Amino acid sequence: MTTMTWDRTGYRINGRPEFLISGEFHYFRVPPADWRRRLELFKQGGGNCVATYVPWAWHEPEEGTFLFGDRPERDLEGFLKLCRELELFVIARPGPYEYSEMVYHGLPEWLVKGHPEMHAVGMDGKRRWQAAMSYLHPTFLAKTRNWFAAVCPVLAKYTVSRGGPIVFAQFDNEIIGIHEWFGGWDYHPVTMGFGKADGRYAKFLKTRYTDIAALNRHYGTNFLDFASILPHEPAAKTIEERRRARDYHDFYLDTIAEYCATLVDWMREFGIDCDTCHNCIAPANHVNFRNWKSLATNCIVGVDHYYALGMDWEQNNPTPKYAVRMFVEMEMVRALGWPGSVYEMPGGSCSDFPPITPEDAHCCYMLHTAYGMKGLNYYVFTGGPNLPEIGGMTAEYDYQAAISARGEVRPLYHTQAEYHRFLHDNAWLAGSERVADMHVGLDWTTFLKTGFTSRQDDMVADGEAVQLLHKGFLITAHCASRSPNLIDITRGELPTDLPIFIPAAACMAADIQRRLIAFAQHGGRLLLAPVLPHLDEQFRPCTILRDFLGATPPKLRLRSENLAAVCVGPVSPHATIGDIWEMPAPAGATVIATEKFSGATIGWKQGNVIWLGIQWVHAFNEELTAMRWLLDQLGAPPPAVDCNNPNVWTSLRTDGKQSMLFAMNLFSAPMACRIRVKQFDTGEIKLAPMEVRTFLIP
Amino acid sequence: MTTMTWDRTGYRINGRPEFLISGEFHYFRVPPADWRRRLELFKQGGGNCVATYVPWAWHEPEEGTFLFGDRPERDLEGFLKLCRELELFVIARPGPYEYSEMVYHGLPEWLVKGHPEMHAVGMDGKRRWQAAMSYLHPTFLAKTRNWFAAVCPVLAKYTVSRGGPIVFAQFDNEIIGIHEWFGGWDYHPVTMGFGKADGRYAKFLKTRYTDIAALNRHYGTNFLDFASILPHEPAAKTIEERRRARDYHDFYLDTIAEYCATLVDWMREFGIDCDTCHNCIAPANHVNFRNWKSLATNCIVGVDHYYALGMDWEQNNPTPKYAVRMFVEMEMVRALGWPGSVYEMPGGSCSDFPPITPEDAHCCYMLHTAYGMKGLNYYVFTGGPNLPEIGGMTAEYDYQAAISARGEVRPLYHTQAEYHRFLHDNAWLAGSERVADMHVGLDWTTFLKTGFTSRQDDMVADGEAVQLLHKGFLITAHCASRSPNLIDITRGELPTDLPIFIPAAACMAADIQRRLIAFAQHGGRLLLAPVLPHLDEQFRPCTILRDFLGATPPKLRLRSENLAAVCVGPVSPHATIGDIWEMPAPAGATVIATEKFSGATIGWKQGNVIWLGIQWVHAFNEELTAMRWLLDQLGAPPPAVDCNNPNVWTSLRTDGKQSMLFAMNLFSAPMACRIRVKQFDTGEIKLAPMEVRTFLIP
């Protein structure tokens, strides 16, 4: 076999940049007699890897009885040997959780039914749904270790270092999902150690606060010791409750990290020596992994990017709103140091309606490529009969996949093959980067699940900053033919070559505020909206950035029906969908935005820094002009791409030698446009619905 | 001029069925010098009517100063004369409310600012947003009457009976919207007369309960007299609270009815003799009009049918989910006795993003035609400069309209003209009806705004029944190539020719339950899901239907993760997205559905009646088979249309002499299909994204 390496720019096979093209292939569902034909079809279609769950429930049907070869559908080694023979890499995902529309999400029934004591619980003591376990519960860990002790040695024999096909071993799946989907975080008293001086929670708090008096000051409480502290659930109201909620949030993520590290340790102990990986639930769950040092060096994190899994999904096809979410995900993964990877790329859908059409799917794949995806795994490439013992949903696990449950080749197969030909023909894209002409700053804490902050009084919640990013800056930027890179403002040196737009909430760590001040002092150009932070991430007063700018607290100015219209520079007044905030310009600053009816100041420029009191939501073409004008004020370079139709979005990728322009029509109707990149000019072109057209630029 | 009449089947011009093709045309926004050219463009494009607001704020800028001719943009008569000259009908909408993205929604500033006492308030006494008035407040009525006294005589001169162009005069606009959008219903103590024995609310309750003891029994309260009763807000929990909330709901609708009747009376008093009309907010607000007898005979009600007005809308283009909502609206309007009318048909959007493309818009128009729309008014056909005094949003009111604010002809204009040619070429469609092969029963109360019912214990809320209709029965029916008519089960004789599917909630009026029993006794075939009602509409125990069937209370069986799979007849088991309910088959009944894992009975057939304990949500193709099997069990006729692609939806319309088949692709990708209607066969065809293709069947 060959080697597979990776860094933030992409994957390398034998040192050469290549796309990872994987397809989910469940040996336990696909009829074994058809394994070879379907795998060969995938390989012929341009794939180089398959991924599979290795379901605990399937291989340990009774406790202590591990079955890996009693029937062909359990012949894991046979499957791995076949993949080796066919020179397909393998991503092995032994759980403990799989989900995969299986009964109990892939856990054995004997485990779930026999051990109610380890089910996750809420703060009210009520159990979450029955397959939601408390990850670190000693019983769950002990049973999982038994499973890993049985399955990992089987997998270990087939890692790449041993001439096998396995390049990545995934621990668990879509971590936290099982809690979040079924009621919320886990507050299991045994696992978390509530009420005990040496309990995990007490120890966490003691490390954070050292003495109980400090904690009581912070919480506004009178606890006698760390052991007696119970967390406050999200939906906290007061600052003190928010602090307790956020502490538990940090603690909860620590327990997840410990769980992940434990699983990885066991994988290593039982012989698995390839890199590990994890498939995160959207949105932005991968941010949780950013500080998990023990995993970071040889662990790669990807994401799930479905656009429609049923009728309750907002869209039936990739839309601009979907594209922006995917853009953010790809940018975050890149900023965190991983190659853009989608470990569940829509290869169908778990329901039959709405349909996943080849045209929509192709658009989805191409827009990901435009935004920097370097590796993907179709979920699923093919299914099969749904094992009656462990399969939920339907008699066949068909998934509208490229190869049907019964083995027929569907049009989607040819679409995927065509897409793979594009990737192979343009292999240089595997090492390419997107050309940016502005920066958007990311404060990771903003993106963590933030049920514990909400709009209260004049306090802008983290979630609102995320909204401003998705529905404001980024939609406008894409429509205005600007190309932002998202950059990590929490560490490393901030590049001063391009202005940074920052969606700012009430809270921002003191350290980040200081970094932004230093950035501005060194010539960095900055725009913050809709407020300036006045608290740190632990909700302590912290106005160093505001003080640096000489600013006063912004005041929420409620939009009184249609009475608010914003005037940004010379741009003609227009209504805004979001709230607006007013604040007089500090000494030395220039007013750059006002509200038309009241004349209130809602934006000013102080040195290199613009504050804009608009909870930006894209609605009008005037906003395109406003963004361009604001970028001009901050001395941004001209746009990398000039497209004359705001509804055709573009991306320009380069490896330094050649470039490729992606032009995307994410609507159900044709779109005409003309695009220029320096000397290059597409002329008048018309894109079909869902068409992503590429242009090589020498 | 000519005459315009209407009944439930459509509009008639001079006695001949014709489509009403209207375009919103704001004389106060369109530059007067361009009125004639733009009106002629509309007429040349096939239109026969224009609609316009007559904004109070614009014509009474200061109290008592009525201006109708001081500047060309206020020359209402000049505009009406021009319409008469060009032989365009006019729908005049003098308010008091217009909305129309105007400051204060079209009310004069002096009124809003000068009379805070008449602003609508919540139960907490807090004022709703400032332009939300308490409709029946004496001051608001007095000021409105002054406005009507000024504007109605101007309009009255131009009604059709007097040789003028005005065929309909609209009272108010999107009634209730101003309350619902801005905080909720109105609880103004003066308007509603709280605390007074002769107050409107006390009188309403006295009429309903006669004596206070009866009310106290019903409410579980100890009120001393009717005057002291305060309503309970929606989000009621107990049965008694629900009763109070629903009483207020009924009362509130009565106040709206009284308000409407008052406005109509004044229109008559001031000389307007044409029919009146009203443009309802979606969804299903027109149901409120069903009992307003004083308006019903000469009042026509239409609806608003936007698919995208900005980024917060679910879809960018007409989708199947949108189509189902529109289908229900058209069917409800028909069942209520009006011709299908869309008084705000997307002629653009109040924001620039997402774009309203000609292709999407055409699809929207055609699907409405397929579902029985007989009259429409594009909102807007054209805009213009947004009057600085009263216009919100942007400097120009452009609306992405067919004719831009500046007067340019956009591609959408040609698309609309093409659509009008289709309507003119197939004028017989104006009197056509859709061919149905099953019935879905509508209990109107289910569709009223029902915040006061919610799932509690085993009680299925009205809103859940509406969901079952939209996301269950109707999506499956459309995918299964079945064509349901929605029928009013609250009055008239129930037709026994086709089986009726009824989405049933916990509450159903005793009278309706009795009607269904009589229907079954006379050979009517019935399916009820997911429960059988056990309360009447006032939340009194009422199990006559259940008793008739010999049934026991259904028991909610929570879907435990993926552990619930339904088996309907011989259809292979499949998971369901909705909850399921179990109930043993009563004596004499046959089990027709079970849950796979538990074996629980979740459906049975008793005589002609099927009960199915599934909160139907369409997800799998198995559900198509299940619906077909259930229809077979109820002896339904073969489908009117046979389409081999569940993602191509159809409609068959006929006037008895000829028929037209509509085949609709509501997806962003092409769809192949083959459709048969008796001897007629389309052969293999491929529909482009958003294409609605028609076939004339002799």
Q: For the stretch A127-149, what's the b/e string if a residue is b when 16 or more beta carbons lie within 10 angstroms of its beta carbon?
A: bbbbbbbbbbbebbbebbbebbe
- What percentage of chain B reaches a pLDDT higher than 90? 81
pLDDT band at B163 (very low <50, low <70, confident <90, very high): very high
Q: Contact at 8 Å (CB) between A323 and A363?
A: no
- The predicted pLDDT at position B556 comes to 86
Non-local CB neighbours of A148 within 8 Å, separated by 6+ positions: A94, A263, A266, A267, A270
Q: pLDDT value at position A122?
A: 93
Rounded (5°) CA angle B643-B647-B653: 50
Specify the length of chain A in residues. 698
- Number of Cβ within 10 Å of residue A525's Cβ equals 24
Between A606 and A452, the higher pLDDT residue: A606
pLDDT category of residue A68 using cuts at 50, 70 and 90: very high
Q: Which of B395, B560, B670 sits opposite A359 (nearest CB)?
A: B670
d(CA B74, CA B34): 14
Per-residue model confidence (pLDDT) at position A620:
95
Please give the residue of chain A at the shortest CA–CA distance from B355: A647
pLDDT beyond 60 at B101: yes
Chain B environment of A573 (Cβ under 8 Å): 394-395
Nearest to A55 by CA among A110, A106, A102, A131: A106
Q: Which pLDDT value is given to residue B182?
A: 86
pLDDT digits (tens, 9 = 90+) for B632-660: 999 999 999 999 999 999 999 999 999 99
Contact A320 B316 (CB under 8 A): yes
- Given a contact cutoff of 8 angstroms between Cβ atoms, the answer to whether B603 and B612 are in contact is yes
**Residue-wise pLDDT tens digits, B403-449:** 999 999 999 999 999 999 999 999 999 999 999 999 999 888 887 76
Q: Using alpha carbons, select from B435, B470, B478, B469 the residue that is nearest to residue B645.
A: B478
Confidence category of residue B233, pLDDT binned at 50, 70, 90:
confident
Please tell me the distance from the alpha carbon of residue B500 to that of residue B440, in angstroms, as a whole number: 5
State how beta strands A438-442 and A484-488 pair: parallel
Could you report the per-residue pLDDT of B175-228, keeping only the tens digit for each?
Answer: 999 998 888 889 999 999 999 999 999 999 999 999 999 999 999 999 999 999
Distance from CA of A579 to the nearest CA of B (A): 14
pLDDT for residue A674 = 98
Instruction: State in Å, rounded, how far the first CA of chain A is from the last one.
Output: 35
CA-CA-CA-CA torsion sign (B246, B247, B253, B255):
negative
Residues of chain A with Cβ-Cβ distance to B690 below 8 Å are 668-669, 689
* Residue range B247-263: mean pLDDT, rounded: 92
Residue A458: pLDDT band with limits 50, 70, 90: low
- Bond before B484 cis per omega within 30 degrees: no
pLDDT at B288: 77
Determine the pLDDT at residue B416: 98
Residue B519 has pLDDT above 60, yes or no: yes
Please spell the DSSP secondary structure of B505-524, one letter per residue. -SB--HHHHHHHHHHHHTT-
Instruction: Give me the pLDDT at residue B430, please.
Output: 97
- Looking at residue B183, its pLDDT comes to 85
A396-410 per-position pLDDT tens digit? 999 999 999 999 999
The one-letter amino acid at B124: D
Say whether B236 sits in a helix, a strand or coil: coil
Look at A574 and B395 and tell me if their CB atoms are within 8 Å: yes
Q: Which domains does chain B possess?
A: 4-187+250-431 (3.20.20.80), 438-633 (3.40.50.880), 643-697 (2.60.40)
The distance of A469 to chain B (nearest Cα, Å) reads 14
Q: Which residues of chain A have a CB within 8 Å of the CB of B561?
A: 103-105, 129-131, 182, 392
Q: Which residues pair with A17 in a beta bridge?
A: A12
Residue A282's pLDDT band (boundaries 50, 70, 90)? low
Disruptive mutation site among A363, A562, A580, A649 for chain B (greatest number of B CBs within 10 Å): A562
User: Which tens digit of pLDDT belongs to each residue from B339-379?
Assistant: 999 999 999 999 999 999 999 999 999 999 999 999 999 99
Do B311 and A351 lie within an 8 Å CB cutoff?
no
In the prediction, which pLDDT does B585 show?
Answer: 97
Which chain B residue is nearest to residue A106, measuring alpha carbons?
A: B562
3-state secondary structure (DSSP) of residue A662: strand
Closest CA of chain B from A280, distance in Å: 20
CB distance B191 to B136 below 8 Å: yes
Residue B559 has pLDDT above 60, yes or no: no
Q: Report how far apart, in Å, the C-alpha atoms of B475 and of each of B320, B326, B480 are.
A: 8, 12, 8
Residue A383 pLDDT exceeds 90 = yes
Q: What is the DSSP string of B361-408?
A: HHHHHHHHHHTTEEEEEEEEEE-EE--TTTB-SBSEE-TT-SB-TT-P
CB contact under 8 A, B668 and A357: yes
Per CB-CB distance under 8 Å, the chain A contacts of B182 are 561
| Residue A524 in tokens | 């960095």
**What is the pLDDT averaged over residues A5-14?**
93
Contact between A573 and B321 using a beta-carbon 8 Å cutoff = no
Mean pLDDT across chain A? 93
Q: Sheet holding B642-643: strands in order across?
A: B642-643, B671-677, B680-687
The verdict on a CB contact (< 8 Å) between A668 and B317 is: yes
Q: Are B196 and B202 in contact (CB under 8 A)?
A: yes
- In this prediction, residue A150 has a pLDDT band, given cuts at 50, 70 and 90, of very high
Of B337, B311, B647, nearest in space to B475 by CA = B647
Structure tokens at B165: 């162009």
Using one digit for the tens of pLDDT, what is the confidence trace for A472-525? 999 999 999 999 999 999 988 999 999 999 999 999 999 999 999 999 999 999
Q: Is A442 exposed, middle or buried (0-12, 13-18, 19+ CB in 10 A)?
A: buried
User: By CA distance, what is A102's nearest residue in B?
Assistant: B562
Mean pLDDT of chain B: 93
Q: Which residues lie closer than 8 Å to B124 by C-beta, 6 or more apart?
A: none
Closest partner residue to B316 (CB to CB) among A394, A475, A667 is: A667
- Going by pLDDT thresholds of 50, 70 and 90, the confidence category of residue B679 is very high
Take residue A352 and report the two structure tokens written for it. 């039959």
Q: pLDDT confidence of B558, banded at 50, 70, 90?
A: low
Mind telling me how many Å the CA of B384 is from chain A's nearest CA?
A: 15
Burial readout A65-85 (b: 16 or more C-beta within 10 A, e: otherwise): ebebeeeebbbbeebbebbbe
The whole-angstrom separation of Cα B636 and Cα B499 is 6
Half-sphere exposure of residue A435, counting CA atoms within 13 Å on the CB side? 24
Are B625 and B486 a contacting pair, CB within 8 Å?
no
> What's the ipTM?
0.95
- pLDDT exceeds cutoff 80 at A284: no
Q: Which residues contact B46 (CB under 8 A, 6 or more apart)?
A: B21, B416, B417, B419, B420, B421, B423, B424
pLDDT score for B45: 98
- Nearest chain B CA: its distance from A594 CA (Å): 15
CB B530 within 8 A of CB B458: no
Interchain contact, A394 vs B129, CB within 8 Å: no
Exposed e or buried b per residue across A628-665, where buried means at least 16 C-beta atoms within 10 angstroms of its C-beta: bebbebbebeebbbebebbbbbbbbbbeeeebbbbbbb
Task: Say yes or no to pLDDT of A562 above 60.
Answer: no
Q: Which residue of A has its CA nearest to B392?
A: A562
d(CA A418, CA B335): 50
- Per-residue confidence band for A559, with pLDDT thresholds at 50, 70 and 90: low
Q: How many CB atoms lie within 10 A of CB A214?
A: 12
Measure the CA–CA gap between A341 and A20, rounded to whole angstroms: 9
Quickly state the pLDDT bin for A452 (edges 50, 70, 90).
low
CA distances from B336 to A70, A502, B9, B486 (A): 65, 53, 11, 11
- Chain B residues with CB inside 8 Å of A572's CB? 394-395
- pLDDT higher than threshold 70 for residue A457: no
**Cβ contacts of B560 on chain A, cutoff 8 Å:** 129-130
The candidate with the shortest Cα–Cα distance to B681, out of B658, B659, B697, B664, is B697
Residue A263, sorted as left (phi over 0), alpha (psi -120 to 50) or beta, turns out to be: alpha
What mean pLDDT do residues A368-393 have? Answer: 92
d(CA B535, CA A301): 53
Q: What is the mean pLDDT of residues A647-669?
A: 98
A388 confidence band (pLDDT: 50, 70, 90): confident
- Among candidates B310, B352, B620 on the partner chain, residue whose Cβ is nearest the Cβ of A394: B620
Pairwise CB contact (< 8 Å): A311 & B102 = no
CB < 8 Å to A353, chain B:
320, 475, 479, 618-620, 646-647
- Whether the CB-CB separation of A216 and A223 falls below 8 Å is answered with yes
- CB-CB neighbors (< 8 A) of A351 in chain B: 577, 619-620
What's the pLDDT at A160? 96
Of A194 and B456, the one with more pLDDT: A194
Q: How far apart are the first and last CA of chain B?
A: 35
Task: With a cut of 70, say whether residue A372 has pLDDT above it.
Answer: yes
Provide the pLDDT confidence category of residue A451 given band limits of 50, 70 and 90: low
Chain A residues close to B574, C-beta within 8 Å? 393-395
Do B355 and A647 make contact, defined as CB atoms within 8 angstroms?
yes
Cα-to-chain-centroid distance, residue B459: 26
pLDDT of residue B294: 73
Residue A89 Cα, gap to closest chain B Cα (Å): 31
Beta-carbon separation of A317 and B668 below 8 A: yes
